[in-house]
Amino acid sequence: MKTLTIVRHAKSDWGNDGIDDMLRPLSERGYSDARIISTQVQKKIQTPDYWITSPAIRAYSTALIFASAFKVDVEKMIINKKIYATSIKNLKQIVNSIPDNYNNAILFGHNPELTNFFNEISDAYADNIPTCGTMYLTSGVKKWKDFLSEPLKNDFYLYPKEFKQ
């Protein structure tokens, strides 16, 4: 069985209009939301054994917070430039190229690409994955090249507002 956790980066800080988009950091709310969601996800799933993230600071920072919750060595995280400002086709290629010796992958990226990707590959529908929204998809396949061959079962969908009072 293969699993893919998709995480949209947490809320970014728009306080500095002049900053390059790749360098945009998380906001305070983003840090808080990422801690909340990573803790919830850590309670629900086996520790991902393959970590891949966009190089954008907000996505990478979200991945680091999740890695901390899972107590994963950040040195094992793969930064893939193709996740930033990408297409569904590129995201499919990234997933299909995960080595088969890994069973539980986690991918950190951006909208609208992640929402479009999720809607194309899943048995569920999301109007818009909110910041730090997290989807967990499963398939009974043995090879990643087969992972996207049929609609995937969306086992859960978590987002920050559901854990706030």
Residues for the chain: how many in total? 165
Q: What is residue 165's predicted lDDT score, i.e. its pLDDT?
A: 61
Query: Quick one: tokens of 164?
Result: 């706030």
Q: What percent of the chain has pLDDT over 70?
A: 99
pTM: 0.96
| pLDDT per residue as tens digits for the range 86-136 | 999 999 999 999 999 999 999 999 999 999 999 999 999 999 999 999 999
Specify the DSSP class assigned to residue 98.
S
Domains annotated on the chain, with CATH: 2-163 (3.40.50.1240)
Token output for 107: 């991918």
pLDDT at position 88, please?
A: 96
Tokens for 52? 């891949």
Q: Taking the CB of residue 15, how many other CB atoms lie within 10 A of it?
A: 9
The CB density around residue 100, as the number of other CB atoms within 10 Å, is: 12
